[in-house]
Structure 1
Amino acid sequence: MINPSEVKDRAAGAIMGAFIGDALAVGPHWYYDLTELRRDYGDWIDEYTDPKPGRYHDGLKAGQLSQAGFILELMLHSLVENKGYDEKDFCRRMDEELFPLLDGTPISGPGNYTSQSIRDAWRKRVQQNLPWGQTGGHADTTEAIERTLAIAVRYAFQPDKLAAAITQNAILTQEDETVVSMTVAFGAVLGLVVEGNRLDADISAKLMKRVKSGALPFHAVTNDDLQPPQKGDPDPPRAGRFASPDALLSPSYMAAAAFDSDIRIDPPWKVSIVYGMPCAIYHQLPAAYYLSALFHNDFESAVLHAVNGGGQNQARAILTATLTGAQVGLSGIPKRFLDGLNNADELTQLAEKLASDIEPI
């Protein structure tokens, strides 16, 4: 039986987890030399930190958000004020509240860094005056996930709406079909976790049931448990645009690895070395799934191991912390992470407003 107060707690935990993960990595963001990272921040980062002079986000202070957090907040305001996803309203906010702060260079804008996909969208929208819908670029990052995670929370109990809204929003800045499919898959996983499901080896089977029902827009020809189709089976109708469901299968493999006593990534922050430190979505998602499964009831360990792995630790921390925050709930996030977060009270109120709009069914 669904407990609305628990759903609200998980939903708010997912949103606040993302903000916390973003802010924790502002200081030590994008160190690919782990010796240099340890020299600047010590053997273990366990709190908000200032960026070092001359590095990414220089000028920000401990506990402040990067541009990813800024855009996530824009998305939350849009979702709350419109009682759901409204593409026109979100695009207006990008035009009016973000783009005037950018100049097309990397070291600019909120957070003192602008990602490739947002720079591409800015050039097409501002310099070339193209309409939204013709603004997507080729970046293969988790940039769209970092804002659409709020859509996943809002539509956790409506997977068809979740998938449609995330797809529509993701293609505004990223047009690669594989990247978009992995973005939608992450949202579908997060939605299940907000519902109350654990991120474990069974989660992909639950996702595939939604593919079979037509709720998730992935094509699949296999039968249950990935058994081969039988002679005479009809070609299943496409539920949507994505040719393969493989992005929905990955989370279970990562979770199985986390729970397998014969597999150990020790210490767990070295997940960044196993799956890769770079920005690309295919490096980031496996690490986030692994850490969120391993530390399903320990928010602090999950997010700190994500941060201490170096490389693109900000994306890794956002993704890990939103999945883990959804598992432990806002009530399970240590108070010190909220106390040190800039504008935490306002962000928490916004997260709780979104959580109140969820329609459990």
Structure 2
Amino acid sequence: MSDKNIQDRAAGAIMGAFIGDALGVGPHWYYDLAEQQRDYGNWISGYTDPRPERYHSQLKAGQLSQAGFILKLTIQSLFEQEEYDAEDFCRRMDEELLPLLDGTPVNGPGGYTSQSIRETWRRRVQQKLPWSQTGGHADTTEAAERTLAIAVRYACQPDKLAQAVTDNTVLTQSDEMVVAMTVAYAAVLGQLIQGHPLDADLSGKLMELVKSGQLPFHAITSDNLQPPPVGAEPPRAGRFSSPDALLTPSYMARAAADPDIRIEPAWKVSIVYGMPCAIYHLLPAIYYLSARFHNDFESAVLHAINGGGQNLSRAMLTGALVGAQTGLSGIPPRFLDGLEDAATLRQLAETLASKVSEK
């Protein structure tokens, strides 16, 4: 695959994430879908203003939440350092984000600060702990929402991708399961940027990377999940205890392709897999939408939004995966036109994308 195509997909992943984030600031966290439809109609088709007294109420349609703010910060660090530099990233967090927070939820850039960032603020600012001790136990996709930029940078280098995403994730999230699922999402994104489809075979490709030592997951079974030979050592003993986070994407892709399994309308995937914020609710829905609408960016992100609950994160991470499949060239212009400061964000995305093929 040509570098030009890789870079188009890499830029698509970044812009898809920014678009998904901005789509979510209006209808974020409606767990009563009847209430969401009362406020926004039966189908949300674009950027919307948040309602007064709800999340992000000081923002306007097309602006970014705090997740988008941190993603932008991460990209700027990767761009200026030309690689993932933990010291530079932490300095930016110390100087550009943490001083804007006070430890409460409804505060900071975007008007809302997630649990894991609040815990990081308490440990870093109040307790003055080193960055090696700032990770908390939130079970969310917060780290995945910024480390997707790292996954883009190292899309062609799975070993570096896994190490850098792990190192960055543990700054705010210490739960080993959450770290494993975050790294798995990043690995999937890297494969899509390379040009591999999100299909029933993708997990097998990821498992080959496990067995070759490029992804840090444990593997005990032989090919196709068959039992290992009696007395044999595990094919791969990695940092993460189970490879299951790498198997989920292909199960979701099979479900999306199976004519006997239909979720209609597709936004009800949020009800099937769960509307809350936990990563184990969100990722199955994200993989399902990203496989089902692999060549239809608009349908993917809008079904992610219309499902309610933690729809901002669902749309942000779906936007990255589908943007990586359609490329920036496949994202409808209206989503770029309505995004605040889109020219700057696009320049950041394209600059980072230009580094993808570099070793």
Instruction: Tell me whether the two structures share a fold, i.e. TM-score over 0.5.
Output: yes
Alignment-derived partner of residue 253 in structure 1: 251
SS of equivalent residue, structure 1 residue 251: helix
User: How far off is 1:237 after superposition?
Assistant: 4.6
Equivalent-residue separation in structure 1 for 2:236 and 2:2 (angstroms): 35
Structure 2, unaligned runs of 5 or more: none
Alignment-derived partner of residue 31 in structure 1: 30
User: How far off is 1:121 after superposition?
Assistant: 0.2
User: How far off is 1:133 after superposition?
Assistant: 1.1
User: How far off is 1:234 after superposition?
Assistant: 2.5
- Superposed counterparts of 1:281-360, under 5 Å: 281-359=279-357
Corresponding residue to 2:271 among 270, 273, 287 = 273
**Counterpart AA for 1:282:** Y
**Counterpart AA for 1:357:** K
Equivalent-residue separation in structure 2 for 1:241 and 1:269 (angstroms): 35
1:22 touches 1:68 (CA, 8 Å); kept in 2?
A: yes
Identity across aligned pairs (percent)? 72
1:117 touches 1:173 (CA, 8 Å); kept in 2?
A: yes
TM-score normalised by the chain length of structure 1: 0.98
2:221 touches 2:234 (CA, 8 Å); kept in 1?
A: no
2:3 touches 2:357 (CA, 8 Å); kept in 1?
A: no
1:149-187, Cα deviation, whole Å (9 max, x unpaired): 000011001000000000000000000000000000000
Alignment-derived partner of residue 65 in structure 1: 64
Structure 1, unaligned runs of 5 or more: none
Alignment-derived partner of residue 4 in structure 1: 3
State the Cα RMSD in Å.
0.8
User: How far off is 1:241 after superposition?
Assistant: 1.1
2:217 touches 2:236 (CA, 8 Å); kept in 1?
A: no
Equivalent-residue separation in structure 1 for 2:233 and 2:310 (angstroms): 44
Equivalent-residue separation in structure 1 for 2:213 and 2:204 (angstroms): 14
Alignment-derived partner of residue 243 in structure 1: 241
1:78 touches 1:90 (CA, 8 Å); kept in 2?
A: yes
TM-score normalised by the chain length of structure 2: 0.99
Aligned pairs, how many? 359
1:4 touches 1:360 (CA, 8 Å); kept in 2?
A: no
**Counterpart AA for 1:277:** M
Equivalent-residue separation in structure 2 for 1:300 and 1:235 (angstroms): 43
2:222 touches 2:235 (CA, 8 Å); kept in 1?
A: no
**Counterpart AA for 2:310:** Q
2:221 touches 2:235 (CA, 8 Å); kept in 1?
A: no
Alignment-derived partner of residue 124 in structure 2: 125
Equivalent-residue separation in structure 2 for 1:43 and 1:235 (angstroms): 51
**Counterpart AA for 1:20:** I
User: How far off is 1:360 after superposition?
Assistant: 6.0
1:28 touches 1:49 (CA, 8 Å); kept in 2?
A: yes
